[in-house]
Chain A
Amino acid sequence: MEVVLARVTTFTIDGVEPRRVSVEVDIRAGLPAFTIVGLGDTAVRESRERVRAAILNSGFEFPQRRITANLAPAYLRKAGPGFDAALALAVLGASDQLPARPLSAVAVFGELSLSGGLRDAPGVLAVAEGARLAGVPRLIVPRERAREAALVDGLQVAGVGGLRDAVDAVTGARLPPPPAPAAPSTRAEHLDLAEIRGHRVPLLALEIAAAGGHNLLLEGPPGTGKTMLARRLPSILPPLTRPEALEVTRIHSVAGLHSDGLIEGRPFRAPHHTISAAGLVGGGSPPRPGEASLAHHGVLFLDELSEFQRPTLEALRQPLEDGRVSIVRGQRSLVFPTRFMLVAATNPCPCGYAGVGERCSCGESDLRRHQRRLSGPLLDRMDLLVTVARPEERELRAGPTTDSARTAARVRDARDRQRARLAGSPATCNGELTAGQARAFVRLEAEAEAVLGRAYAGGTLSARGRHRVLRVARTIADLAGRSRVDGDDVLLALSLRQRHSEWEAVAA
């Protein structure tokens, strides 16, 4: 009895991590049948029909015998159509239409169309990183994804248009030209701070937030420019380093949100307030990265903070605290990275006009309810709380007060100082300092100590608020290039944490 076996390497995405999967095909005499085992989902089961049609339509022969395909390791759940190409090559290998030896030196990833074309599947960058780690020298991917896969060094990437090209790439008969290096910076046109008139205090807060990686709450009536300010934050953040950019690209690629090449701008994600907890921090089946992960190394902007469901906001606690979120499914837990800057915006009251003359129509109980919704886990994580008021008419007519390029340069210098000081500790910027680290790293002038003491005694500052003020004061000193924090730094930090007395009363 003749037994033929072929094995092809491919990858599945587990969270945002690649996992190696071997596709084994065994063909033996028997009634014609095609079975796939190895914990595949519906897309994997349906792949039988795609593989059969693609093989026939590419001019190969589909063996009329008993075919068994196994996706190993068997314990790992496999989802999605990315196994199609590997299954097809393995079937061709097992039916002697393709020599077995070169087949073992390639990995392949992609979905097949019925006509034999190779289609895009999300997560190619993660797959390419997996291939490099697994030591597979050549990776075959859909043509439009070749550039993305080529971001990984030390890997021969073949971008092919269909199954026939893929076969040629395996045998080496005809290799597609290596993908052109990523097009010179496709970076999206950044919004610029120069477009902002007035708003001097919020602009200052934005610069400090960017310089220290501090979370920021903007409070103000509708239409005063909270969203406009937040959207311009990425333009003053330091550019992504290459490892950071690769990480961001990988996450966006896994989520299927990314088209080509490397993402170079910092992500800015602004989910609507109706989002679920799973949508925000990741989840679903199979688990997908949520907005918090898509904002990794960038900005997560929550507009209308008080409108978000309480459980949704509670879910943000772990991501904010740890910079990653683990999602448990069955017996396994997946980890998604979530190191983002949180910027939130809210109206000062349900009607939005508290503090604007006599326009506010909210009663005291409305205000208390609003403030209670705001207080709690998230407000606690905010280092900077500033009011965004309507600019004066005169300010609208005046010229811009700053622009992104100059601000970004100051931010970069401040970050360099922080990195030098924090070298050897897990934190990279002041915003990541724990209370203990803040005590250790923030050196105060005597005058600054005195101001903090007065603020604490006068009730302006809570015990919990103290290290937040310390961190912000440290950033302010970094922006000014001072090695020690002086009294004015602390006063400015206090001013930029505008929790008015009514809030304090509700929050405790």
Chain B
Amino acid sequence: MTGACERCLSRTWLLRRLAGHLDVARPRLYSLLELEDEDLVAAVAGRERARIDEERRSIDLDGMRREATKHSLALICRCDALYPAVLHDLAAPPAVLHIAGELDRLAGFTGGGSVAVVGSRRASEYGNEVGRSLGRSLAGAGLTVISGMARGIDTAAHRGSLESTGATISVLPGAACEPYPPGNRRLHRSIVARGVVLSELGPGAPVRRWCFHARNRLIAALSGMTVVVEAGEQSGSLVTAAVARALARPVGAVPGRVTSPAAAGTNALLASGAAVIRDAQDVLDQLYGIGARSVSAAMRPALSSEQEALLAALADAPSTEAALAGGSTDADRALVMLAELELAGWVRRGAGGRFTVIP
């Protein structure tokens, strides 16, 4: 099960060995990653070059394999049949994928349609809500949701897909067995259980700044389309979008408020020709042609007229108080109906007692 040929595994070792040097050379990262091992060392190692060349002759490959097995990671190198073919579109495909979660699932997830849903770490409530709803509906429509488990939009997208089929791939900057950020332990565990977590680097690799850039190219390459939900001007998700464009894959963005710096990046993407994404249907239209596939309506129980009225009131002003003030219903009756709607999946409670109507 722990495949990976010697040549590919040595590359993984080298990336980790050169981690510090690559961080310094970050601006040129993508062209550097295209280089062969020898040239890469020559390009970045500087005075350490001789020493690293010396070390390269005696890499403990078996040790690396044992380490991976110890952390329940499967290894697939680019010479392997299981290696996702889409990654070969990259000029610098990762040498070895470290995979946490059922290996069998990977083929299913990368074979069909897949969409990257990414965005800012400091996401607004609006961004989180859209990310989550996209994740849920896209997974519900049979697609795989790919993201990076970062806080904010990434987390929301993963959560949304877990609320549905759970078809989600998380590409981590560090090792696949170590949640990053560490606070996302629970999410990591759920994705390992139901989806796939993968990474280019092996166990124990330190997470440096270049790792995020390197990771972003994998997210773009694994996905048929990249959707940026919310991004400021400096957001790393714009790198993902740029890679997707370079690979000639469609890029979409969710419109934000024009006055909000948190949406400056996504609005700029839209201005430069990205598709407008309002919901999962827009994504399906982009991927398969307009109207070719539609988001299947979730099976939800029919509503009474009283519940319809309450739902309409909530869509107007999403708070409990407002919903109550609108109708003449008793407080307890309205609360009972709200709980019913929540159980049936029509609404969800948010911070401050506000309700979100789930489309």
Contacts and interface: CB of A to CB of B under 8 A. Distances in A.
Interface of A: 198, 200-201, 203-204, 219-221, 348-349, 354-356, 363-365, 367-368, 386-387, 389-392, 394-395, 451, 454-455, 458, 460, 476, 488, 491-492, 494-496, 498, 500-502, 505, 508
Interface in B307-331: 319-322, 324-325, 331
List the 8 closest pairs (A to B, CB-CB), nearest first. A355-B352, A387-B353, A495-B335, A200-B331, A491-B339, A495-B339, A389-B321, A491-B336
Nearest to B260: A358
A356 B152 CA distance: 20
Contact of A201 (B151, B324, B354): B324
Contacts of B297: none
B122 interface: yes
Contacts of B322: 392
A1 to B, nearest CB: 83
B27 interface: no
B332 A204 contact: yes
Interface stretch (B103-111, B227-235, B340-348): B340-348
Residue of B123, B342, B343 with most chain A CB atoms under a 10 A cut-off:
B343
A389 B320 CA distance: 9
Given A201-B321, A204-B331, A498 B186 contact: no
Given A364-B151, A394-B325, A389 B319 contact: yes
A176 B183 CA distance: 72
A105 to B, nearest CB: 62
A476 B353 CA distance: 21
B349 A498 contact: yes
A375 to B, nearest CB: 13
B121 interface: yes
A458 B186 CA distance: 18
B353 A498 contact: yes
Contacts of A349: 351
B350 interface: yes
A201 B335 contact: yes
Contacts of B151: 364-365
Interface string B161-187: 000000000000000000000010010
Contacts of A494: 339, 342-343
Contact of A200 (B152, B324, B342, B345): B324
Nearest to B349: A500
B338 interface: yes
A492 B325 contact: no
A17 B354 CA distance: 49
Contact of A454 (B122, B319, B343): B343
Interface string B100-127: 0000000000000000000001110000
Nearest to A457: B343
Given A349-B351, A394-B325, A488-B336, 6 more contacts: A221-B352, A354-B351, A355-B353, A455-B343, A495-B342, A502-B350
**Residue in A198, A365, A387 with the greatest tally of chain B CB atoms within 10 Å:** A387
9 contacts: A200-B331, A355-B350, A367-B351, A389-B321, A454-B343, A458-B343, A491-B335, A494-B342, A498-B349
Nearest to A385: B353
B343 A451 contact: yes
B350 A500 contact: yes
Interface of B: 121-123, 151-152, 183, 186, 319-322, 324-325, 331-332, 335-336, 338-340, 342-343, 345, 348-354
Nearest to A459: B163
A92 to B, nearest CB: 69
B335 A496 contact: yes
A446 to B, nearest CB: 16
Contact of A354 (B325, B336, B343, B352): B352
B225 to A, nearest CB: 26
A498 B353 CA distance: 7
A365 B121 CA distance: 10
B321 A355 contact: no
A302 to B, nearest CB: 20
Contacts of B352: 219-221, 348, 354-356, 387, 389
Contacts of A364: 121-123, 151-152
Nearest to A347: B352
A508 B186 CA distance: 9
A492 B335 contact: yes
B336 A219 contact: no
Contacts of B331: 200-201, 203-204
Contact of B349 (A392, A501, A508): A501
Given A454-B343, A458-B343, A500-B351, A387 B320 contact: yes
A454 B349 CA distance: 17
Nearest to B324: A200
A178 to B, nearest CB: 53
A144 to B, nearest CB: 48
Contact of B343 (A219, A365, A460, A498): A460
Nearest to A368: B183
Nearest to B185: A508
A386 B336 contact: no
A124 B351 CA distance: 50
Nearest to B187: A505
Contacts of B338: 495
B152 to A, nearest CB: 6
A200, A219, A454, most chain B CB atoms within 10 A: A200
A496 B342 CA distance: 13
Contacts of B336: 488, 491-492, 495
A451 B324 CA distance: 23
B182 to A, nearest CB: 13
A365 B325 CA distance: 34
Contacts of A458: 343, 345
B340 A391 contact: no
B350 to A, nearest CB: 6
Contact of B325 (A219, A363, A387, A395): A395
A508 to B, nearest CB: 6
A491 B353 contact: no
A367 B183 CA distance: 13
Contacts of A495: 335-336, 338-339, 342
Contacts of B183: 368
Nearest to B345: A458
B353 A386 contact: yes
A320 to B, nearest CB: 25
Contacts of B324: 200-201
A508 B332 CA distance: 30
Contacts of B349: 498, 500-501
A265 B14 CA distance: 76
Given A204-B331, A495-B335, A355 B343 contact: no
A366 to B, nearest CB: 10
Contacts of B332: 204, 476, 492
Contacts of A395: 325
A451 B322 CA distance: 26
Scoring B336, B340, B342, B350 by chain A CB atoms within 10 A of each residue's CB, the highest score goes to B336
